[in-house]
Copies of this chain bind each other. A is one copy, B any other.
Amino acid sequence: MYAYSHKNILDTLQFSKDDLNYLIEKTNRMNALHESGKAFGILHGKLLASLFFEASTRTRMSFEAAMERLGGRLISTVGFQFSSISKGETLYDTMKMIEAYCDIAVIRHPVEGSSRIAAGAVNIPVINAGDGAGQHPTQALLDLYTIVSEKGKIDGLNIAFIGDLKYGRTIHSLINLLRHYPVHLYLISPEELKLPDKYKKNLEGFPMTWEETTDIKAIWDADVAYVTRIQEERFPDHREYEKLKDIYKVNKELVLASKKDTTILHPLPRVNELSTDVDDLPNAAYFRQAKYGVVVRMALLCLSLGVNFD
């Protein structure tokens, strides 16, 4: 018999297909509770440490809203305020302190793998809210939940990813979840920003299929188009960023030329790669994506804490 068993959320590779289906079902339940005003109080008396070693207002506020919406409590800190760390404290020691204070921790950190180190230090649950070039598993889970909520299914979808597939952590995380489903991916990027081989290895032996192209017109055949920002901060060479930053632009004209019901997603923030003239089309789901994110995180906080919400 299946039993969900993840206390820590560190990596998208940790989830089986059964896990994902279970999370989707539980998030549906959480969404219903939240919409009917019954979610507030589920985490009464629980205390979250919101630890953002680098600033990420969007993700931080989403987690903090999730905790507050459940009636839980939180203590929060951002980046440079980690004065102990500036005095030379290790992540291990910081986490031992947090364990003494709180029931659960959400951690954002600039160094890849740091959330695993954090989780290894303590007995309280740890949720990775993005660790450098590494994983951002809750973003991937909310993206998956957005797709199933908007399309009513996952199986059989054509899903296009557009933009920076080399540095785009969001995409690397999401395809690890989608691999479990019979979907087809169009990986649309310039040659310089193709999906690195190391990420492709995780996709072998799974029902998902994919093809690579540099042509944005591949979007025409997609049920879901996931647009991403070319992230200036990830490029070692700034000239390369300048060359590539405006290479794709998803705008109203392009969307209207695609399938009628292509769902447009974007992890936000956007810059020029997704035009604001798309906002008014029914296809635009990227603001709803932010809302799904809160209920996904509400469900995850409860599951990690072992608090039931049937």
Using a CB–CB cutoff of 8 Å, the interface residues on chain A facing chain B are: 37, 40, 44-45, 47, 49, 54-58, 60-62, 64-65, 68-69, 71, 73-75, 77-85, 87-89, 92-93, 96-102, 229, 231-233, 268-271, 276, 287-288, 290-291, 293-294
Contacts and interface: CB of A to CB of B under 8 A. Distances in A.
A89 B270 contact: yes
Contact of A101 (B45, B49, B62, B82): B62
Nearest to A54: B83
A47 B61 contact: no
Contact of A102 (B65, B80, B97): B65
A83 B101 contact: no
A78 to B, nearest CB: 5
Contact of A88 (B85, B271, B276, B288): B271
A101 B65 contact: yes
Given A65-B47, A68-B75, A69-B47, A58 B269 contact: no
A270 B58 contact: no
A292 to B, nearest CB: 8
Nearest to A290: B100
Nearest first, the 7 closest Cβ-Cβ pairs linking A and B are A89-B269, A100-B290, A100-B291, A55-B83, A65-B101, A68-B73, A84-B269
**Copy count, this protein chain:** 3
B78 A81 contact: yes
A88 B269 CA distance: 8
B268 A101 contact: no
Contacts of A293: 100
A174 B44 CA distance: 36
B61 A97 contact: yes
A58 B97 contact: yes
A89 B274 CA distance: 12
Nearest to A65: B101
A65 B75 contact: yes
A40 B72 CA distance: 11
B64 A75 contact: yes
Given A40-B45, A47-B65, A100-B290, A93 B270 contact: yes
A44 B41 CA distance: 10
